[in-house]
Structure 1
Amino acid sequence: MIAGIGVDLVDLARFERAVDRTPRLRERLFAERERMLPLRSLAGRYAAKEALIKALGGSDGVRWLDIVVDKSEDGDPFFTLSGTTAEAVTERGITALHVSMSHDGGAAMAFVVAEKGDAS
């Protein structure tokens, strides 16, 4: 059963200006293994993290650095969660997360579906 959905859109030029103005943004928003990625990729990951928060219904217990957007061998994105974020997801009864990301025309976007296991 779908427990929540979230979507986020990031303007790449605006994101780049924000990172240039505030270099510590990379450290506050992205895990160490994400930080060296190109800004275009970081913008997509930022959108995915924002969409996840929306799909969860809020940011209580969610920490940016506990959310990592990884890619499968096939290139499909997925979340690796840890710490209080993983606990918050479990406490909310979420059993699966699905994420889709795209870049086009100066924007990055992500869509997340949070699922709860079927109680029947």
Structure 2
Amino acid sequence: MIKGIGLDMIDLDRIQKAVTKNPRFIERILTEKEQQLYKKYTGTRQVEFLAGRFAAKEAYAKANGTGFGAALSFLDVEILQAKDGKPVVEKPAHPEETVFISITHTGRSAAAQVIIEGNK
């Protein structure tokens, strides 16, 4: 049974400005394992990766029904890669749930959709 659906989109320029203004923005959004993936990329691809993870985590929070705040932070959700490269939520807020995720990028933006499937 579908518990929640979330969708988010963000401009790459907004993410680039956030990183330029405060390089610690990366540490606020990405877990240590996600940062390791981020560091494998350079230039525009890094911005796309960070923006994609930002949008995916926002979409997850929306699907979870909580948003970000006291109950959930960006670091509470970890999105890594399966062997075939597709994104996988490794650290969902509720481990008993199944999470489906899709991330996409264009030259100007990144977007993500999340579907959370629960047992109830």
When normalised by structure 1's length, the TM-score is 0.83
Alpha-carbon deviations, 1:85-115, whole Å to 9, x = none?
63xx25xxx6211000100131100000011
1:103 corresponds to which residue? 105
1:79 corresponds to which residue? 89
Q: RMSD of the alignment, in Å?
A: 1.7
Q: 2: CA distance between counterparts of 1:49 and 1:25?
A: 14
Task: Mark the runs of 5 or more structure 2 residues left unpaired by the alignment.
Answer: 39-45
How many angstroms does 1:77 deviate by? 0.8
CA contact (8 A) 2:12 2:108 kept: yes
Identity score, percent: 38
How many angstroms does 1:34 deviate by? 2.0
Count of residue correspondences: 110
Match status 1:39 vs 2:55: no
CA contact (8 A) 1:97 1:114 kept: yes
CA contact (8 A) 1:34 1:42 kept: no
Bigger fraction of residues in strand: 1
SS in 2 for 1:105: coil
Structure 1 residue ranges (4+ consecutive) displaced by more than 3 angstroms after TM superposition? none
